[in-house]
Amino acid sequence: MNKSITGIYRQPDGEHVNSLMNWLRTELFSIWNCRSSQLDKDVSRIIKIYYKAELMDKLYRIAYQQYMKMIEESNYCHAHYQIGYYYQHGLGVDEKDINKALQYYEEAIKQHHPLACYDMAMLYEGDENGNHDQTLPIGNMDEKQLIDIKVRLLMDAVVNGQHYYARKLLQTKYNNHPYWKDKILEIKDDIEAAMDKSTASADTAELYNYLGVIECLLHADSIDDDSSDEEITDEDPSNTDKINSINKTSKYAYACFQKAATLGDNQGRFNYAYRRILSPQRLSDSLSSTTKKDQLSSIGSLLTSAVHGHPLGWFCMQLALNLQRQNKIDYNRKCQQLLIKAAKVGGFSDVLRELAYTYLQPRNGWQCNHELARQYLEQALTTSYSCLYPNNSRHHYYLGYLYQKGIGIGIDTIQAAHYYAVMLQKPTRCPTTMVLLAKLIEKDTLPRSTILDSVRLYQSACLQLEPLASAYACYRLARISYQGLISQEIGFDQSKATLYYQMALKLLQAVSPCPLSCYLKGNIYSYTSIEFDSGNHGKDPTDWYLAASKYYNSSLEHRYYAIKAKLKYEALRSTQKQEIIENIVYMNDEVQHLWQNKPKEIMWSSYRIALRYHSHDMMDKIYDFCYRKYRQKLHESDDMVAHYQLGYYHHYGLGNIKKDPAIAMNHYYKAISLGHSLAYHELALLIGCEEEGDDPHDFCQMYPTSKQCGEYRLELLLQSAYMGNIHSLHYIEQQANDQMAWNKLIDTFIKIREKNYRHGKGKKLPQDDLTKLQVELGLLLMIREVIFDQPNLLSVNEIINHLNKAAKLQDPAAYYYLGYLKLTLDPKYFKGSNKKIDAQSYFIKAAKLDYIAAKLQLIQLLLAGEKLSISDRQIRQMLIDGSQYGDPLSTLTIALGRIDGRYGIEINADKVISTLERAIAEDHYRMINKILPDDVIGGIYEYDSHCTNKYIKARHWYSAQILNYLNNSQGRISLGHLIEKKKIPTASIFDAIKLYQSAIYINDRHVSFAHYRLGKIYSNKQYNKFYDLESAKAHFRMAYRQFQYNLLVSGKNAYRDCYILAKMYRRGYGMNVNSRKAALFYQKTIDQSKADNDITMLRYRNKAVKALQQYL
C-alpha cells in the first residue's frame, strides 16, 4: 500500500460511525421528497420484480432428491432433518405436510440433531397469535403440556448444538413467563435428584450437560439480552468472534460442561470447548481471560467431539483456528480440510458457505475453483444453517456476484438480480446487495427496470449503517445527478452532485482502505475539485488508483475494482517525455474508436478467458507423474531425495496421493538416515500434541503436553537448521513469537549447550561435537535475540563469536551462517567489509567442505545475477549435487541449460520438460516463480519441448500469469498468440483479440507486440468478420511508435522489439518495405542477445539468424 494512502486513514470508533450516519440521514431527507416508509415500500416492490420463485423451486427439488438418496443409502441424520424442513415449509415438494415433517424430525432427533429439536419445538409454539397448524397432532393437549414439550426440545437443541435461537427463546421465556420459569427450575431439581442416584458415568455426564445449559439461563444477565432478530452482515465472513451473544456463563455452568466432557459425553466435550473459546461472551468476568493453555485444551475437546461424530465439531475447530488470523500455507490448507470434513458430516449452509469462500479467495494453501465455489453456494441455499450464531446470508450476495460477472458460470444478470433479491428479502437488508442490484438496473441490464428504481435502492442503501455501501450509493447518486438522468423535482439536479460527492468522501473517512474506497476517492478527486480534509497528498487521483490496483490478488470483488483502478491509473499517469504522453493519448483515443467497448469489459473478459483455460488439475498431474518416478527410483536404489519427496507427498496428500502420516514418517526416517536436512524439518511437523488439539489422523506421533512436543520438535528443527535449512530457523523463530513455552525451551537448550560445551572441553570431546555445540548456540541466540527483526550490536557480536570459534575448526555450518549473516544483516554490523564478496567467500569455503546448503545458496546467488568466482565446471557440479539433493532451483537451472547450453550443460530438448516438471514438483516453498515467471514456463512448453499436450500445458501457465499479475501483459499476449495460431483447437479468435486488447490497457513495454498482433489479425482475410485494413494500419502505426520508444529506453532488452521491427520492414506492415532496415534490425536482435543466459533471447536470436541468412 502507498504510504501516502495509509497515512491518512484513521480507524473510526462506533460512536463516530453512528453520528456520521445520523448526520447523513438528516442531510438526505432535507433534499429528498420522500419518506422512509415510502422508500421501504418501493424497495419491497423492486425485490418482488426480480425474485424468481421458479429458480428456487428447481434448486429445492434437486436437493430433495439428493437428501432422499442419502437417507436410503446411509440414514444420514442431516438429510432426515432437511426433508422434514422441506415438508414443513413446502419447499421442493408438491405441498406442505406437517405429519411427514414431524416423522423426519423425529428420526433426526433420535440422532441428536439440534435443528430438528428446535424446529419441532417451533411447530408446537405456533404462530405469533399462538395458533397451531390444524394438521399438527396435538389432540387435547393444554398449554402447560405443550410448554413441557417445548422446553425439553429447546433444551435438547442447546445441549446438542448450542442453538442460538433456542438459547435466546429459553432465556426470554424464563425471564417473562412464570410457568416456563417454574418448569425449567423443576427440570433442574429433577436433574440434581437424578445425579444423586445415578451410578452410570454416561448418564451422569448427560445430566451435567443439561445442568450446564440451565445454569446458563439462571445466570444470564437480562440486560445483555440481544432481543433483536438482526442478521449478521459483517464485511468479513470469518469474523465470527465479533458476533454478539446473549450468554454469560457462570462458573458453575462452565464446571458442569467440563465435568460432562471429563466423563466422556460427546456433547459435553463440544459444549465445554464452545463455551470456553467460541461463545463470544465466553464466561463471567473472572474467567473471561482465556489462557493459551485453555485454548489448546478446548481445541482438543473440539477435536475429540468431531472424531466421535459431533456434526459441528470440525466446523468449530475451523472457527477456532480462524481466531488466530494467520495466513500460512499449512494453516490455510488445514482450515480448508476441516471445512471439507465438516461439510461431509453436517452439511449446514454456513459450513458450505465458508467452504465456498476458500475456493473463491486466492490465499496461500487454498485451492481456488470458482465453479466448485458456485456449486457449494447454491447447495447452501437449500440447506439450513447451524444456528451457532445469528444467520449470515452473504452466500446470496456472492452467488449474485458470480452470475453478474460470469465467474464459474456464464454471465446471467437475471439470476444475479434474483439472488440479490433473495438476500434483500431478509429482515435486515444488506446495503452492499442493494447497491449491486441498483447498479444492474442503472446500467439497463435488466428487463422491467427504470432508473428511478435504481435511485430508490441507492437512497435506501444510503440510510443503512454501513459507511462503505452508503458512500458508494452517494457516489452513484452524484453521477446520476450530474448526468441529469432523472427529474430535478426529487432532488437530483446537477447542483446536488457536489453535495453527494462531499457526503461520499465524508463517509469514506470511516472506512478502512480497500480497493473500492480507494477507487471511489480517485474518481471523486478526478471528477471534481472538492476541498476536503484528506491531507495534501490525498487529492491526487493517481495515488488512489494505484493503491486500489494493488489489491488484484485479493478477493473476487476486490479484483474487479483493482482492474478498474488500473485502467484509470494508466489513463492519468504522467511520463517525463511529452511525445510519449501524446502517443498514449493517441492510442487510447484510437483504441476506443476501433473497439467500441469499455476498457473494464475488455479487462474482465480477459480474466474470464484465463479462468476458462486454467487447468485446476495441472499440478495434480505433475505430482502424480513425479510420484511414480520417485517410486521407480526407489526400486533402483535407496535414494534420499525419493524418500523425502514421497514422505512429503504422503504428509500433505499432494495430487491424488492419499494423505498418510505413517507412510510419510517412514520415508522421512529413511531420508534422515541418508543425510537429508529437510526431512528433519518435516518430521518435526508430523509430531502432534494432544494439549494443542492436534488431530491424531494428521500426525504420526502424539505427545500429551506442549512441553514434551516442543522439546522433540525443537531437537529435530535445530538439527535441520544446523544442516543449513533456513526454513527451520525461521519456523523456530515463529513458534517463539507465538508461544511463550518455546521461549523457555530455547533458554533451556542454550543453558544445556553451554554446560555441555564447558564439560566437553574438559573431557576433550571430539572436535566435531564441540564445533556443533558452538554453531547451535549461535543459532539459538539468533532466535532468542530476534536479530532478523531487531538486531543489536552486542547480540550480533556474541553470535558471530560463537560461529567464528567453530569456523576456526573448519566447521562448514559455521562458514555457511557467517555468510548468511553477511547477506542478511545491515553492513554496519560488519565494518570495513564488502558484504557480497565476503558472503560468497564463506559460502565457497563451506561448499568445498561438501556442505550442501552452501552450494544451494551459491546457486541462488547465481540465479539472482551474481557473478561467482568459480568455473563453469564447478557450477555444473554444484547444480548436479543440488539436483540430486532435491533442490528445485538447481533442477530448474539444469532444465534451462538443456535449452540454451548455459554453464556447458548439454542441450537436450527431450529432457527439458521432465526436468522442469521435477523442479516444479519439488518447489514446496514456491521459489521458482520468483525467478521464472509463469509466462516463461508456458513458453518453454510451447517452444522448447517435445511433450504431448504441450499447448494445453502452455495455456495453463499463460492463464496463471493473467490470474496472478495485473501489471504484466506478457501472459495475455502469449495466451492470445497461442489462440491466434490455432494451437488450441476449440478456442475462438475473438478470445485472442480480447486478450491483446486487455494487454494494451496494461500499458507496459509489451503493448507494442499486442498492437502488432492485432494489426496482423485485422489485415488477415481469413478472419472475414474482423478484416479491416484501416484498423490494421492504425495498430501497426501504434506498434511502430511503441517499438521505437522501447528501443530508446530499454537498451539491450529490446531484442524482441528489434526482431518485430525487422519483420515489419521486411513485410511492409504499416509501412513501405525496406530490406536494408529489416536486415539492420535482424542484426541488432542478434547483437543484443549474445551475452545473457535468457531462453527468450535465445529464441529470438535463432529466429533472427535464420531470417538474416535468407538475405545473405
3-state secondary structure of 688: strand
Under 8 Å between Cβ of 214 and 188: yes
Q: Which residues contact 945 (CB under 8 A, 6 or more apart)?
A: 909, 912, 913
Strand partners, 563: none
Q: At residue 199, what are phi and psi to the nearest 5 degrees?
A: -115, -20
Say how far apart CA 517 and CA 507 lie, in whole Å. 10
Say how far apart CA 123 and CA 135 lie, in whole Å. 11
Q: How many residues does the chain have?
A: 1112
822, 828, 833, 835 alpha-carbon torsion, rounded to 10°:
40
Say how far apart CA 1018 and CA 412 lie, in whole Å. 31
CA dihedral sign of residues 92, 93, 94, 99 = negative
Within 10 A of 1000 (CB to CB), how many other CB atoms are there? 28
Q: At residue 684, what are phi and psi to the nearest 5 degrees?
A: -60, -35
β-pair type (687-689, 701-703): parallel
Residue 131: name the closest of 119, 139, 123 by CA. 123
Single-letter residue type at 1111: Y
Under 8 Å between Cβ of 955 and 977: no
Say how far apart CA 337 and CA 343 lie, in whole Å. 10
Cell triple for residue 312?
Answer: 459441528
Strand partners, 701: 687
Query: Which 8-state DSSP code applies to residue 277?
Result: I
Cell triple for residue 281?
Answer: 461472551
Cell triple for residue 684?
Answer: 518435526
Q: At residue 734, what are phi and psi to the nearest 5 degrees?
A: -65, -40
Q: What is the pLDDT at residue 488?
A: 55
Could you tell me the mean pLDDT of each successive run of 10 residues in the chain, 1112 residues long?
32 60 71 77 92 92 94 91 95 92 94 93 76 70 86 92 90 90 91 82 87 82 40 37 42 85 89 81 44 69 87 89 68 84 89 90 75 91 87 74 90 93 85 93 83 90 86 91 68 76 88 91 86 57 92 86 89 59 55 64 90 89 93 92 95 89 95 94 90 78 87 95 93 83 90 88 80 94 74 82 92 94 80 79 94 95 88 94 94 93 90 93 88 93 90 95 91 96 90 92 88 93 89 89 85 84 93 92 84 78 88 64
| DSSP code string of 682-718 | HHHHTEEETTTT--GGG-SEEESSHHHHHHHHHHHHH
Q: What is the pLDDT at residue 325?
A: 60
Say how far apart CA 990 and CA 976 lie, in whole Å. 9
Residue 664: name the closest of 640, 642, 686, 696 by CA. 686
Residue appearing with cell numbers 486513514:
9
Angle between helices 515-527 and 497-508 in degrees, nearest 10: 150
Say how far apart CA 1000 and CA 986 lie, in whole Å. 25
Find the DSSP H helices in 51-200: 53-74, 77-89, 98-110, 114-125, 143-161, 164-176, 178-197
410, 416, 422, 424 alpha-carbon torsion, rounded to 10°:
150
